Homo-oligomer: A and B are copies of this chain.
Amino acid sequence: MPVNLPALLPEQLLPIDGVTLGIAEAGIKKPDRKDLLVMVLDEGTKVAGVFTRNRFCAAPVIVAKQHLAQASIRALVVNTGNANAGTGEAGIQHAQATCAALAELLGCAAQQVLPFSTGVIMEPLPVDRIVNGLPAAVANGKADNWFAAAQAIMTTDLVPKAVSKQIELNGKTITMTGIAKGSGMIRPNMATMLGYVATDAAISQTLLQSMVQYAADHSFNRITVDGDTSTNDAFMLLATGKAGPAEITRQESAEFGQLQEAITAVAAELARMIVRDGEGATKFITVQVEAGKNPDECTKVAYAIAHSPLVKTAFFASDPNLGRILAAIGYADIDDLDVNGIQLYLDDVLVAEQGGRASDYREEEGQRVMNQSEITVRVVLNRGTATTTVWTCDFSYDYVKINASYRS
């Protein structure tokens, strides 16, 4: 069960003028499941994205980057059940063939289509099944199909993940809706496995690219489930411009700041949903590192804690074996760290200071917080003013179970 994730209702998701979504059952890996999504964009929609930095990046990532650089984008196609990663030259051809087939159906150029895949690595993409499924997905296209789209991109996810938000910008209502998937192989280094946020705001291509990077850095790039960076990570931001004629063109403008804040909030909410539905998760952990010399050292400490199997199994067991957190801080690779200057808090409980257990700390207090399903680990380094927040989950039997049986 995802951690404190209320059931998503289709009517909570707002359509974005200029975007239609269609899904189909292409039988890519298993029969009778929605596994193909086509998003069609009105002409003039701006698209920007960030992609995985894994060197074994998937064929669709390579092709999507090329297309994004070459042409205005009119459609996105996403399949689950197969990652088309570690598939060599054949994988590239399969991704291109998928784009070409969809382009023919839509009457645009193949370069105007971005392909995305998620699923098992190093198995040939069943490209014929995908191509055969495209007409049904296109025919299914409609604006109020975000809920079905969120379902169609799931793999080991237990629940679909989506969110809508509206803000007022210069007296106009701007709408944004996003979907994401991801549950394991989550330590994004650019973005999560797959995330898409669309808005009807009007914004220049340059600013859109800057915004998607900022949003990724403050959302999908701040989560981890198991420390594995996927081959297929991609986070795309789509702006149809339908809500207003005045395009945002200045990074210094109030409109840019407001829109960036709202888009980042949507992305961060999707990212946290991924952690709440992390494979086997029973707890949602916020790791907040404060008063560091620079963001880099805060991030090192935060991820050392968030990745430690020993820390994560202690959370699973609700065991206030908090020395494991000190050990993780200690091996975070900060050479000149003086451990005597650090404070460790669990929620509001001061656990450790001056290199050891705080004199007022009582195990009952630690136990009380550990019993919760939402816990904040706060580390105060007392060396500067930088801060980082990372979100993660605990490590349970079910993580092993899910990943020991993923392909079967």
Contacts and interface: CB of A to CB of B under 8 A. Distances in A.
Contacts of A408: 319
Nearest to A395: B400
A308 B85 CA distance: 17
Given A309-B227, A323-B120, A55 B403 contact: no
Interface string A114-136: 00000011111000000000000
A330 B56 contact: yes
Tell me if A's interface is mostly helix, strand, loop or mixed: loop
Interface centre among A87, A397, A404 (most CB of B within 10 A): A404
B403 A86 contact: no
A307 B321 CA distance: 22
A235 interface: no
A228 B310 contact: yes
- This chain's copy number in the assembly: 2
Given A228-B328, A328-B228, A331-B228, A403 B314 contact: yes
Contacts of A227: 307-309
Interface in A69-83: 83
B400 A327 contact: no
A307 B187 CA distance: 13
B231 A330 contact: yes
A383 interface: no
Nearest to A226: B309
Given A55-B339, A400-B400, A85 B323 contact: yes
Given A86-B323, A88-B354, A88-B355, A400 B403 contact: no
B330 A54 contact: yes
Interface in A45-66: 53-57
A319 B407 contact: yes
A395 B400 CA distance: 7
